[in-house]
Amino acid sequence: MGQNTPIDTSHINCIAKANLLIDEALLIIQNNYYKKDSVQWGPLLIKAKNSLNQQSNCDAAYKTVQWCFDQINEKHSYIMPPKKAALYNGNINSSPSSRPEKIVFGPIRHEIVEGDIAYLNVPWIATTDVSVCTQFADSIQYLIKSFDKKGVNKWIIDLRNNTGGNCWPMLAGLGPLLGDGIHGFFVSAKETIPISYKNGIAMQGKQPRCEVSQPYSIISDKQTIVILTSNTTSSAGEIVALAFKGRNNVYLYGEPTAGLTTANAAYSLSDGSMLVLTVCREADRNGKIIEGKIQPDELIIPRPGKSNDSVKDAAVMFLQTQ
């Protein structure tokens, strides 16, 4: 008798697991996607399964989920593999740009431009780890406190390289300049949830999202603020820009933002990956729904090849007249 050849089950196991993950992810999308009623799910699911079963890669499910988002022209939702998902915990707002796994927020740059004008760059933060978020927010408030005590009452808040992540430590850190109150809304078909700050706590509705260790209050209520934006200002970065927009003595300078002005929620999947899904729209402090890009008050296109920062320079020149 001939010797039986062992059956290679690795491909079968991969596809079986991928099918389970696709079923799990697509059920969440069908139930929670903010435009779910506009999607013809039947044909999409059939095409997705056919595409998946023609692949042999164990990561095929992730590619297929992204393929589904591409088919419905959804630019803000995506799926995170297990290793990257491990950096997150809970609800987030994030862009799908890849970042080094152990670097969870960008550099916070700052300076006093001149006596009463301060510059503060607020970067992306790609985690919801409580201790890291508190550290980030504390750092922002510490800088605001130190500048305020030196007599600064004119501010340049730079969001041009803020590609998103977790908006709550950004809002908590900038709380002294935002002031207590409601600064925007998440809007779904079922409810409208305020985005607010009060006494060191950034809140989603009644739920605290990030709290600083020692809340600080600005000495004078006469502050003039210029927010710098670009087409890289995205997602959570846009929430921060939106939180300031419409406030007295606040002006947006630069380019229109990226246009990811919707809100995401994160859903953990059985293999440790995470589905980051757009679940609602956003509105400004007056309740106006934002559709796409946030337009600056003063459109300034950076001059290519120039070593100086024309957008920042314009903000400084404006603040010198205030």
Q: Which amino acid is at 309?
A: D
What number of helices (H) and strands (E) belong to the chain? 9, 13
Strand 298-299, strand 250-254: pairing:
parallel
165 and 246 belong to one structural domain: yes
34 and 164 belong to one structural domain: no
236 and 313 belong to one structural domain: yes
315 and 202 belong to one structural domain: yes
68 and 125 belong to one structural domain: no
* pLDDT per position as a tens digit, 129-175: 899 999 999 999 999 999 999 999 999 999 999 999 999 999 999 99
115 and 17 belong to one structural domain: no
Domain boundary pick from 48, 74, 100: 74
- Taking CA atoms, 204 is separated from 99, 109, 181, 196, in Å, by 26, 27, 12, 7
Q: What phi-psi label fits residue 249: left (phi over 0), alpha (psi between -120 and 50 degrees) or beta?
A: left
- What local confidence, expressed as pLDDT, does residue 306 receive? 64
70 and 153 belong to one structural domain: no
41 and 178 belong to one structural domain: no
228 and 310 belong to one structural domain: yes
289 and 190 belong to one structural domain: yes
Q: Considering the domain boundaries, does residue 5 fall inside one? A: no
CATH code at position 199: 3.90.226.10
Q: Considering the domain boundaries, does residue 79 fall inside one? A: no
Instruction: Tell me the residue range of the domain where 39 lies.
Output: 10-74
255 and 314 belong to one structural domain: yes
The DSSP secondary-structure symbol of 93 reads B
Number of structural domains found in the chain: 2
Please identify every stretch of the chain with a pLDDT value under 70, giving residue numbers as ranges.
1-12, 56, 87-102, 305-307
Domain boundary pick from 74, 101, 121: 74
Q: Considering the domain boundaries, does residue 150 fall inside one? A: yes
Q: Considering the domain boundaries, does residue 96 fall inside one? A: no
Could you tell me which residues are beta bridge partners of residue 125? 105, 165
